[in-house]
Amino acid sequence: MNLNKINIGNLFLVTAIIMLLVGLCFGILAAFTYLYPNFLKENIGFISLRPLHVSSALFWIILGGTGCVYNGIRSILKIEFSPQIAFIQWCLWIVAIIGIFYSYFTHQFGGREYWEFNPVWALPIAVAWILFIINFSKAITNVKKWPVYVWMWVTGIVFFLFTFSENYLWLFPYFRSHFVTDMTIQWKVNGSLVGSWNQMLYGTAFFLMDRISNSKQVGKNNLAFAMYFLGLFNLMFNWGHHIYTLPTEKYIRYIGYAVSMTEWVFFAKIIYNWKGSLNEIQKNYHYYPYKFIMAADIWVFINMGQAILLSIPAINLYTHGTHITVAHAMGTTIGINSMILIAACFEFLKPNLFKNKTNSKYLNFIFWLLQLSLFIFWISLNIAGIKKGIWQMSENQISYSKMMETLTPYFIIFVIAGFGLLISFFAIAIKLLKNSTNSLIINKF
């Protein structure tokens, strides 16, 4: 096999798309257990389905982000990475994915919140990431003026390794000797880890905007840098908003609260730029991949508004531990991260598909089915969360299982909307993967 001829960025993107499809299937199966409690209970059960779904979705985002960075750097700098290192990196990810899935099916868990798996499989991921850093740093050290998206990629890549390693401090007895501290570190990791892949993907969105608009200015203006540093500041210090009720040190909660409130600046900027954004949408709307960037922008607005409100402790008290948090997590993962990645996949895997023709009715239908399904999905989770929040605060509580039964109508809508997401993502993935072997062969500059 001649590795010099493989487009490694696209290899990562194709793998990511496959993980998206796998994640959607596990997500639907997990959602079914909400309606049919005995569904797959004796085989894999929700305790395996949830991590299977979460990990697959995160593989989609992380491998997709890696593919975008490889493709982006290659296209800006016209530099080839070491294909050998990149290929070993990809192989290590495949080993880790197989190992992680095997451990879920055999019930060997890491048991941590959010992204958990048997810690053994963190090793190939960590080594793969170190190889990624080596390959990436070799390329960018020769560049004199980094546009903002290169800064964002650097941040995402460096912080991923740091927080990913931090995620395994509990293996040392010192760090697990006090469970409140252990939970504090766990949520420090969760907050920053999400922030790190967000940096990789938001960097990709900036890169795509530069490329689509052909301006080369989006990534170089001062405001973009100011927003980047505000994002970095939040990545580092705002995670305390997850743990307001945890009896940890006061300063952690106050720092989390104060830093989260700086996100109002992002929100104000979106509103301030609204008219300009509308003009931009009108100008590029005909270009199919751009629609997903537009959708990501709208979901940023919705989710950021929600995130800021949830970061106010007096409001968080009512929403904490409810499905509103799930709605927020799903809204950002699907609405923002996945929309950016799909736009990037079209741009990198099918660069000529939409250059000279308008969108087909079929693809437009799929786009709107995806947005509508996500909106219904998000609303149903929010309503379920509000109902649970009211239950949590009421003086005369019915039992937990009875309260959950009252949420069944919203879970039914959630599952139906989930099917809408499954169908639309599959339709997009088929379009992207059709004849994708061509996109895996490298095109010389």
Partner 1 sequence: MKFKARHTFFILSVLFLIYTISIYLEPYNLNNNSAKTKNIINGKLVWQKYNCQSCHQLYGLGGYLGPDLTNLMSQQNKGEPLLKAMIKSGNKQMPAFNLSDLEMEELISFLKAADNSGSADPRKFRSNSFGMIEKE
Please report, as residue ranges, which positions from 35 to 64 form the binding site for partner 1 (by CB under 8 A). Answer: 37-38, 41-42, 45-48, 50-51
In angstroms, the Cα distances linking 416 to 32, 411, 421, 434 are 10, 9, 9, 27
- DSSP codes, 237-295: HGGGGG-TTS---HHHHHHHHHHHHTHHHHHHHHHHTHHHHHHHHHHHTTSHHHHHHHH
- Give the binding-site size for partner 1 (rule: CB under 8 A): 78
Q: How is residue 244 written in tokens? A: 């307001």
Nearer to partner 1, 50 or 82 (CB): 50
Question: Minimum distance from CB of 44 to partner 1 (Å)?
Answer: 10
Nearer to partner 1, 305 or 313 (CB): 313
Of 12, 17, 23, 34, the one binding partner 1 by CB under 8 A:
34
- Tell me if residue 366 falls in helix, strand or coil: helix
Confirm or reject binding of residue 78 to partner 1 (CB under 8 A): no
Confirm or reject binding of residue 105 to partner 1 (CB under 8 A): no
Confirm or reject binding of residue 249 to partner 1 (CB under 8 A): yes
Confirm or reject binding of residue 151 to partner 1 (CB under 8 A): yes
Q: What are the beta bridge partners of residue 441? A: 6
Site map (CB under 8 A) of partner 1, residues 358-387, x = contact: ------------------------------
CA contacts within 13 A on the Cβ side of 398? 10
For residue 283, the tally of other CB atoms under 10 A from its CB is 12
Of 4, 142, 214, 222, the one binding partner 1 by CB under 8 A:
222
Confirm or reject binding of residue 412 to partner 1 (CB under 8 A): no
Of 168, 267, 301, 318, the one binding partner 1 by CB under 8 A:
318
Site map (CB under 8 A) of partner 1, residues 173-212, x = contact: xxxxxxxxxxxxx-xx------------------------
Q: Write the CB contacts of 10 (distance below 8 Å, at least 6 apart in sequence).
A: 67, 71, 348, 349, 436, 439, 440
Confirm or reject binding of residue 102 to partner 1 (CB under 8 A): no
Q: What's the CA gap between 231 and 444, in Å, rounded?
A: 35
Nearer to partner 1, 333 or 424 (CB): 333
Nearer to partner 1, 241 or 431 (CB): 241
CA contacts within 13 A on the Cβ side of 57? 26
**Which stretch in 127-135, 267-275, 315-323, 338-346 sits in contact with partner 1 by CB under 8 A?**
315-323
**Which stretch in 55-63, 71-79, 241-249, 342-350 sits in contact with partner 1 by CB under 8 A?**
241-249
Confirm or reject binding of residue 113 to partner 1 (CB under 8 A): yes
